[in-house]
Copies of this chain bind each other. A is one copy, B any other.
Amino acid sequence: MKDTLINQASPGINKCQQCCIRELVLFADLQQDDFKLLHQPICNIEIKAGDTLYREKSAANFVYTIRSGMIKLVRYLPNGNYRIIRLLHPGDLAGIEALHGLAYLHHAIALKNTEICQIPIADIEQLIRKSPNLYKQLTARWQKIQSDADIWLAELTVGSSKKRVANLLLYLDAQNTNESFYLPAREDLGALLAITTETASRVIAEFKRQGLLQTQQHSAQIDKVKLEQYI
């Protein structure tokens, strides 16, 4: 796995009020006046596929909002293997654990080129005291993380490998508004579903032969109806 920590030089300063995904993000409910409480700039940074946004156990000073692209949260196992704990899509928060003054709990690595906003936690803490709306946004995020994790536990780590892969493909498809979605590498599919790279490859190849799945590079389309029969 590539392991390049991002270069944080030349980040652009972002105007939250005019953000194109404003209705998705943490600050969706903030009023005009609230933004005056932001003392540090919100930096808009871009990272490339394979770059590491932050590392597990490193000091957590920022929360990040995904504007575009895709991030995997990774935890390494004692035996050197890794598991992907969660996938982050546009509108999701990365590093929310920073709000408790703790270190980050995972490695955050970009799966494709990704744009993010970097928000200093000091500002968030100040805003929380003033804006009850922000508090609600935050707990909504926690709630979403919890329920996603629950579904993951209940659905994606049990059953046959075909069922798991089918479930994951349907999940990835549902995340995207486009008709095609990003299909992670076989190794990452394995790390997501707790199966080996080879098994992931076999199932994907099988689905392609059956016409349930078409791919070009990492762009994929599925036949939802037929895939659902595997669940």
Copies in the complex: 2
Q: In whole angstroms, what is the CA distance A99 to B149 when docked?
A: 18
**Cross-interface CB contact of A138 among B75, B77, B139, B155, cutoff 8 Å:** B139
Answer whether residue A97 sits at the interface, using C-beta atoms and an 8 A cutoff. yes
Chain B residue with Cβ nearest A74: B154
**B132 x A142 contact (CB < 8 A):** no
- Residues from chain B with a CB closer than 8 A to the CB of A194 are 157-158
- Residues from chain B with a CB closer than 8 A to the CB of A83 are 153-154, 158
Answer whether residue A146 sits at the interface, using C-beta atoms and an 8 A cutoff. yes
Interface majority SS (helix, strand, loop, mixed), chain A: helix
Q: List 15 A-B contacts (CB under 8 A).
A: A75-B154, A77-B158, A83-B154, A85-B150, A97-B146, A97-B147, A100-B139, A102-B143, A105-B150, A128-B135, A142-B142, A142-B145, A149-B149, A157-B157, A158-B194
Query: Interface residues, chain A, CB within 8 Å of chain B?
Result: 75, 77-78, 83, 85-86, 97, 99-100, 102, 105-106, 128-129, 132, 135, 138-140, 142-143, 145-147, 149-150, 152-155, 157-158, 194, 231
